[in-house]
Chains A and B, each alone.
Chain A
Amino acid sequence: MANWSKLQTRSFLESSARDRAIGLVDEGTFTELAGPFDRMSSPHLVALGEAVEFDDGVVTGVGRIGKRPVFVISQEGRFIGGAVGEVGGAKMVTTIDLAIGFADELRAANPKIAPDELPLVAISFETGGVRLHESNAGLLAHAEVMDAFQRARGKVPVVALIGSRIGCFGGMGFVAAATDVIVMSEFGRLGLTGPEVIEEEMGKDEFDASNRALVYRTTGGRHKYIMGDCNFLVDDRIAAFRGQVTELCKLPVGDFEQFRRIGSAALVEKQMRAVALAAEMQPKDAYDVWRRAGNNDPAGLGDAPVDDFRKQAQRLSV
């Protein structure tokens, strides 16, 4: 097993799903559930003659940060682009339900339990969405995860962590948007339709997917931070993500409402104001919006070291 202390300094971007899961919680506390030794591979892939993985590309388990039980879901992008199929999806849903059930149990046993002793769910996304090989089952899994979020709301906070190679796209982009709080690194990307699909549908003039600078300044962590689509922008180290989750672990579940981007009448109105602004501005590039948010030198800000970016960036308010 990977050395926990070494994992802390490791690049989050470079780390496997399992290393991210282990490094996110306190040293030695991670217990994997439905792990590789349980050999829960996808039966659909076998039938199609496609390579399978013992954990179906999703690492699930539970550990602790301080006193708080942290249920971890971590997607592996190197296995079929982190695409979510039936087994992996079921593992995600079950993990969230375990957290909810555990929260209920703890509260029933001790109604005065301290908020920071109640469970939290952390999801490290690395996925392009549905695994097309098992489309219906994969889609259903997305809906079930969303449903589980609704059950968790007000009981167990759900934190999204996005900073891996594949980013978080497709249906899982919706899923991430439905979490309580989103933590990204500058290398993380979040969106619905992936860059290649946009190019395919709308043409290269509309969106050149091979232009990685364009892709990142439209879907990357810096842009999402300015737009308010992500709540926190952290360094690309496991320790940095862990540090942010540790801070969040101190908060009672009610405090997580302040981080949500969707899910209330007020937030819907805010989204509508953003849509109106887009209609008014007709931005040609993400940097137009950065400028509108009060950043006079968007290109300079985009290239600045991430620490300077955090200090200087003005976030869009609508």
Chain B
Amino acid sequence: MKVERQWNTLERDTAQRMEAAARFIGPGKQVKVEDVVPLLEAVVRPGDKVNVEGNNQKQADFLAEALCKVDPAKIHDLHMVQSSVPLAAHLDVFEKGIAKKLDFAFGGPQSGRVATFIREGKLELGAIHTYLELFGRYCLDLTPRVSLICAYEADREGNLYTGFNTEDTPVIVEATKFRKGIVIAQVNKIVDKLPRVDIPADWIDAVVQSPKPFFIEPLFTRDPGLVTERHILLAMMCLKGIYGEYGVKRINHGIGFLTSAIELLLPTYGEELGLKGKCCTQLVLNPHPTMIPAIESGWIEAIYCFGGELGMENYVRARSDVFFTGPDGSLRSNRALAQTAGHYALDMFIGSTLQIDQYGNSSTATANRVAGFGGAPNMGCDAKGRRHSTDSWLKCGREVPSMNELIGDMPRGKRLVVQGMETFGEGRAPAFVDRLDAWKLAENAKLDLPPVMIYGDDVTHLVTEEGIAYLNRCADLETRMAAIRAVAGYTEVGLRAKPEETKRLRDDGIVKTAADLDIDPDTATRDRLAARNMRELVDWSGGLYNPPARFRNW
């Protein structure tokens, strides 16, 4: 029997809300600063799924703070669905009883509060996601009813320019607007003509010019002055034993000083090894300032960016052969597409972690901080849906002795997933542990499972000052654990290594020390870096790179 029902309840509900909000929205969809809180109270309803834009770079900070000021008697039990929660305001909404539940991907500076709030019952955690996973859910079961986004500029009609830091905006707006949700944008400036339109005015319901420009963090700027000899030694081993060994071309560099060291060694040591043109030609990567020397030396064909990086605007604009820029000349970053490329089109992910266990599982979680994953797990894994081949992917897969146990004689490649770190980190904390702190966190914050950044079966290579463990070459877990022990140095895990076992692994090419790679650790000096400080990066860029004030050293 056919049931009579209305098929446009969402649309009607939205229309009702917008009607209530109409008196705050002027021509060009503009809202006055003082009307933003009443506007939010008009369009948001208790229990709504709400997105506040912000990842680990740009933040809709003004709107986030405005949401904290709504009356909790009117607006409560919100279900926040958002990439990250780095601002105090992101957690204040839970403190004030405005929001109840959180689904997110990355914690940042507030990750300690997330754990505390979960324990105190102030915050109900849906799940910790990767960016792509969360974006996927925006389009399925976590679709925002209202999204609060940010852009550089709006024009008089409400079109938006997100430019250099487009980042998550397209995916949020698309998921929200096309399911009849409401999108409110904070912009730094309202102008007559935009450099280009990134988000059309049709998809935007209200625009407010924020009292001050949105907060943005230069999160991917690493001062070459802080790269140590140990980073350089690890970087040399990576370049010779992995980049060169596999001829890896399409890469993502995780954030950290090891990858900065690699970037700064490409034009020096990389060139000595004859790798130019053969390795590291395409990257999914934010515009890292430490990439400048490699780009200027002609190593890089293309870089696709998740987000922008403060100070790199003019440099990127002047290097449109390398970066993806719009008709106006400025970068268009896009996190969803970059993560897609990161998941499917990369041959290698290389990054660092805080802890790795005896099986090779790694995590950046500590006992009292719900740090989240960001994008690393989507790149730090073998993409099972990948169907195209490259030489490095095939070689890495060919070396996996147990491949046939799962798929018989069918050939298949494998992404290189490299974790590089010193055996001891900050404050002599061992990087190798029997059991990850993630287990304790799961207990403390009542999580369903310990938050693992990269699972052991995805890690193909481990690099420490002791050497490289080629985990992809291990036939079984026992061998993998032995290989991990062999490079774990003087940590508890490493102290269990047996000399004869390590020797066998070295003979089999499963473990290679610096000496096995013919690298003299004494030559791992800062003289090798293409740039040793921020000033030299500026000089490499011909004055185009304009580092934020706090990074300047002259």
Q: Do chains A and B touch in the complex (CB under 8 A)?
A: yes
Binary per-residue interface labels of chain A (4-30) against chain B in the complex, 1 for a CB within 8 Å, 0 otherwise: 001000110110000000000000000
Q: Are B527 and A220 in contact (CB under 8 A)?
A: no
> Which of B543, B546, B554 contacts A222 (CB under 8 A)?
B554
A247 at the interface (CB under 8 A from B): no
* Chain A nearest CB, measured from B122 CB (Å): 32
Tell me the complex Cα distance, A303–B533, Å. 14
With A11-B532, A13-B533 known as contacts, the answer to whether A187 contacts B539 (CB < 8 A) is no
From 205 to 223 in chain A, residues with beta carbon under 8 angstroms from any chain B beta carbon are: 210-214, 216, 220-222
A49 at the interface (CB under 8 A from B): no
> Which of B532, B533, B549 contacts A214 (CB under 8 A)?
B549
Q: Nearest chain-A residue to B223 (Cβ)?
A: A212
> A304: which B residues are within 8 A, CB to CB?
543
> A10: which B residues are within 8 A, CB to CB?
527
Tell me the complex Cα distance, A210–B551, Å. 9
The interface on chain A, measured as residues whose beta carbon lies within 8 A of the other chain's beta carbons, has a size of: 21
Interface range, B side: 10 to 19
Q: Are B550 and A210 in contact (CB under 8 A)?
A: yes
With A11-B532, A14-B526 known as contacts, the answer to whether A212 contacts B551 (CB < 8 A) is yes
A111 at the interface (CB under 8 A from B): no
With A11-B532, A303-B538 known as contacts, the answer to whether A220 contacts B554 (CB < 8 A) is yes
> A11: which B residues are within 8 A, CB to CB?
532
> A187: which B residues are within 8 A, CB to CB?
533, 535, 553-554
Q: Are B549 and A303 in contact (CB under 8 A)?
A: no
B552 at the interface (CB under 8 A from A): yes
With A11-B532, A305-B539 known as contacts, the answer to whether A212 contacts B552 (CB < 8 A) is yes
> A303: which B residues are within 8 A, CB to CB?
538, 543, 546
A229 at the interface (CB under 8 A from B): no
* Chain A nearest CB, measured from B257 CB (Å): 16
Q: Are A213 and B535 in contact (CB under 8 A)?
A: no
* Chain A nearest CB, measured from B451 CB (Å): 31
> A6: which B residues are within 8 A, CB to CB?
527
Tell me the complex Cα distance, A198–B257, Å. 31
Q: Nearest chain-A residue to B538 (Cβ)?
A: A303
With A14-B526, A303-B543 known as contacts, the answer to whether A216 contacts B554 (CB < 8 A) is yes
From 509 to 554 in chain B, residues with beta carbon under 8 angstroms from any chain A beta carbon are: 526-527, 532-533, 535, 538-539, 543, 546, 549-554
Q: Nearest chain-A residue to B551 (Cβ)?
A: A212
From 262 to 293 in chain B, residues with beta carbon under 8 angstroms from any chain A beta carbon are: none
> A97: which B residues are within 8 A, CB to CB?
none
* Chain A nearest CB, measured from B474 CB (Å): 40
Tell me the complex Cα distance, A302–B527, Å. 26
> B539: which A residues are within 8 A, CB to CB?
305
A55 at the interface (CB under 8 A from B): no
> B552: which A residues are within 8 A, CB to CB?
212-213, 216
> B543: which A residues are within 8 A, CB to CB?
303-304
A180 at the interface (CB under 8 A from B): no
> B553: which A residues are within 8 A, CB to CB?
187, 212, 216
From 33 to 76 in chain A, residues with beta carbon under 8 angstroms from any chain B beta carbon are: none
* Chain A nearest CB, measured from B532 CB (Å): 6
Q: Are A211 and B550 in contact (CB under 8 A)?
A: yes
Name 16 A/B residue pairs within 8 A (Cβ), A-sorted: A11-B532, A13-B532, A14-B532, A187-B535, A187-B553, A187-B554, A210-B550, A212-B551, A213-B552, A214-B549, A216-B553, A216-B554, A220-B554, A221-B554, A222-B554, A303-B538
Name the 8 nearest CB pairs between A and B, nearest first: A213-B549, A213-B552, A186-B554, A211-B549, A212-B552, A212-B550, A210-B550, A216-B554
